[in-house]
Chains A and B, each alone.
Chain A
C-alpha cells in the first residue's frame, strides 16, 4: 500500500502525476474535458440499487453512531445569534443528554462572524469549528473580498473552511480562474482544512460534477462538498457517488486521502445510512471515518438520536424527547 497522507501540503504543487494537467489553463481544460463522461443512467441505477440495502440491528446502531460522529452540525441563517450558536455547540458536545456514550459531532458549521463564539464554546472538546467563507453562498464577489472573508474566519479560530467555487466562472469554462481561487483560499487557510463546495445543484450535469470534483482536488481542497444547502436540489445520492468516485480515483493515483461532504436535504437516518452504504461501496471502507466523510446537516442529528433511542429502548421515539434547535 502506498504511503498516505490526509492533507495536501500547502506549499508544494499538485502531485507529480498531475503536474502536467495544471501547467496552464489550456492543459487544465484538456485534462478536465478528457475525463471519462459519467454514465448518468448507470450511476442513478447504482445509487438506487445500493439504497435498497437493508441495514439492521447491530450494524444499524453502528451506522447511527458513525453518522452522528460525521455530522457537521450547521446553522447558516441570517437570524443566527450568539445564543443560538452556543446552544448548538452544547448539542454538538453532547448530542443526547441522557446518553453520554453518544459520540460528539464532527464540527459545528457557522458563518464567519459566529466562528469566534463557537471556538470559545468548543475549546478542548475535539469538536471542530467549520466556517463558511468566500462570499457564501453565491460566491459572487472579488477575490480580495473572498480572501479577506477566509482570513477573518481563520483568525477567529475556525479549524475548517467551507468555500464556494465561482459557478459562473466554472460554467463559462474559466477553469483556471476557479483553480487559482481555490489555491489562494487554500493558502489563506493556513492549517485549517479546506472544503470546496461545488454547489452541484447549479452544475446541471454529472460530467460537470466530475470536472468540478477533480478541479477541487487538483487545486488542493481537503474535502469536496456537494452544496451550500441554499439551492435545490442539494445533495443527492448519484451526485455523491460521482464525487466519491473522484476521491477514490484520486487516492488510487496519488495515495492522498481526500474527503467528501454531502450537505443539504439529508434529514433522516434512512437517508444517512444510504450515504454510508454508498461510501463503503464506492470509495471504500477507509472513508467510513469522520476525517474523510461528513454530513452537512441540522435536523438530521435529531432523527439519528431518535432512531438510536428506538434501537436501544425497543419502542419508537418521538421529537418530544430530543432538543429543539
Chain B
C-alpha cells in the first residue's frame, strides 16, 4: 500500500471564462453514491449567479454573431477535448452515479456523441426551422430562427454528464449563452466539463457553470430580468410552480420538463433547440 496521501480537491465555479471561488466563500462536500467523500465544490451564492448572468450577457453578442459554421467548429472542438478526458469522465460518472465502469463508459460515449450531434445542427437550423413564406402580395417574407439570449439551465440532478450535455449543447448550438446550475449532489462531471470548455475554443462567458444548492439559486435565476429563457429540468418539484410564476414576471421562455428525468440515452429530437430560438419574420418588397 502506498503511503502517499492523495490531494483532496476544492473546486471552483466557472464564470466568465475564469475559475473564481464563490463570492460567499462557501463550499460543500461532495460524496460518491456510497457516501464516501470525493471533493469539495464551491457553493455559489445569488451574487455569483448575478455575475454569471452579466458574463453570459457580455458573451452573447460575439457568440450569437459568429457564423453557424464557426459555432459548429467550436463545438466539434469541444467534443475532441471531451474525448481526450474520456477516462476522467468515466471515473467521475461511475463514482457520482454509482454505476459500473462499463455502464459509465457507455454514458460518457453517448454524451460525447450527443455533443457532436448538436454541433452538427448549428448550420442546419436555419434551413429546417426557417422558411420563405408564401404571401398574397408583392413581398418576400422570410422567417429565420434567432437565438433567444441568455438561457438559465437547471441541469438534471441525476444524470451528471449525459443529462447535462443534453441540456447544454442545444443552447450553445443555437447561439444562446448559458448560466448553468449543475447537479447539486453530483457536480464533478459538470466541473470537469467546465474545464473542457475553458480549454477549447468556446469564448469565456458563453457557458457559466455554478455548483451549489439548486433550491437556493433557482428563484434568483427565474426572476432575473436579464435572463431570457429558463430550463426547469433540474428544478425541485415543490419549487416549479413558483419558478414558472417568477419567470412569467419577466416574460421568460420556460422549458417545462417532466418531473421524472427521461432516459437521456434516447435519441433526441430538435425540441430543445427550438425551445431557445425566436423566429424573426421579415417582409421585403419585391421589385423596385
Contacts and interface: CB of A to CB of B under 8 A. Distances in A.
Q: Classify chain A: how many residues form its interface, as a range.
A: under 10
B101 interface: no
Interface in B229-262: 246, 249-250
Contact of B246 (A315, A318, A320, A321): A315
B246 A317 contact: no
B220 interface: yes
A316 B53 contact: yes
A319 B226 contact: yes
Which of A314, A318, A319, A321 has its CB near the most chain B CB atoms (within 10 A)?
Answer: A318
B223 A315 contact: yes
A314 B53 CA distance: 16
Interface in A300-325: 314-321
B13 to A, nearest CB: 17
A321 B57 CA distance: 14
B225 interface: yes
B contact patch SS = helix
Q: Classify chain B: how many residues form its interface, as a range.
A: 10 to 19
A320 B220 contact: no
B50 interface: yes
Nearest to A321: B225
Contact of A318 (B220, B226, B249): B226
A318 B250 CA distance: 10
Contacts, number: 28
B224 interface: yes
Interface in A272-320: 314-320
6 contacts: A315-B246, A316-B53, A316-B220, A316-B223, A319-B57, A320-B226
Contacts of A320: 225-226
Interface in A177-214: none
A319 B50 CA distance: 13
Contacts of B50: 316
Contacts of A315: 220, 223-225, 246, 249-250
Contacts of A317: 225-226
A239 B98 CA distance: 58
Contacts of A314: 223
Nearest to B223: A315
Given A315-B225, A319-B57, A320-B225, 4 more contacts: A315-B249, A316-B53, A318-B250, A321-B225
Contacts of B225: 315-318, 320-321
Nearest to B246: A315
A318 B227 CA distance: 8
Nearest to A268: B54
Nearest to A317: B225
B226 A316 contact: yes
A184 B246 CA distance: 60
Contacts of B223: 314-316
A64 to B, nearest CB: 16
A317 B50 CA distance: 10
A62 B246 CA distance: 27
A314 B224 CA distance: 10
Contacts of B226: 316-320
Interface string B45-89: 000001001000100000000000000000000000000000000
A153 B193 CA distance: 59
A316 B222 CA distance: 10
A53 to B, nearest CB: 16
A35 B226 CA distance: 50
Which of B53, B220, B250 has its CB near the most chain A CB atoms (within 10 A)?
Answer: B250
Contacts of A316: 50, 53, 220, 223-226
Contacts of A321: 225
Nearest to A314: B223
Which of A314, A316, A318, A321 has its CB near the most chain B CB atoms (within 10 A)?
Answer: A316
B54 to A, nearest CB: 9
Interface in A50-78: none
Interface string B211-228: 000000000100111110
Contacts of B227: 318
Contacts of B220: 315-316
A214 to B, nearest CB: 40
Nearest to B227: A318
A314 B219 CA distance: 11
Nearest to B225: A318
Interface in A220-268: none
A193 to B, nearest CB: 36
A321 B220 CA distance: 17
Which of A314, A315, A317, A321 has its CB near the most chain B CB atoms (within 10 A)?
Answer: A315
Interface in A93-126: none
Contacts of A319: 57, 226
A208 B158 CA distance: 62
A321 B250 CA distance: 10
A259 to B, nearest CB: 32
A320 B57 CA distance: 11
Which 8 A-B pairs give the minimum distances between C-beta atoms? A318-B226, A315-B223, A318-B225, A316-B224, A317-B225, A316-B50, A321-B225, A316-B225
A319 B149 CA distance: 13
A321 B251 CA distance: 12
A318 B57 CA distance: 10
A319 B61 CA distance: 14
A287 to B, nearest CB: 29
A318 B50 CA distance: 10
Nearest to A319: B226
A316 B224 CA distance: 5
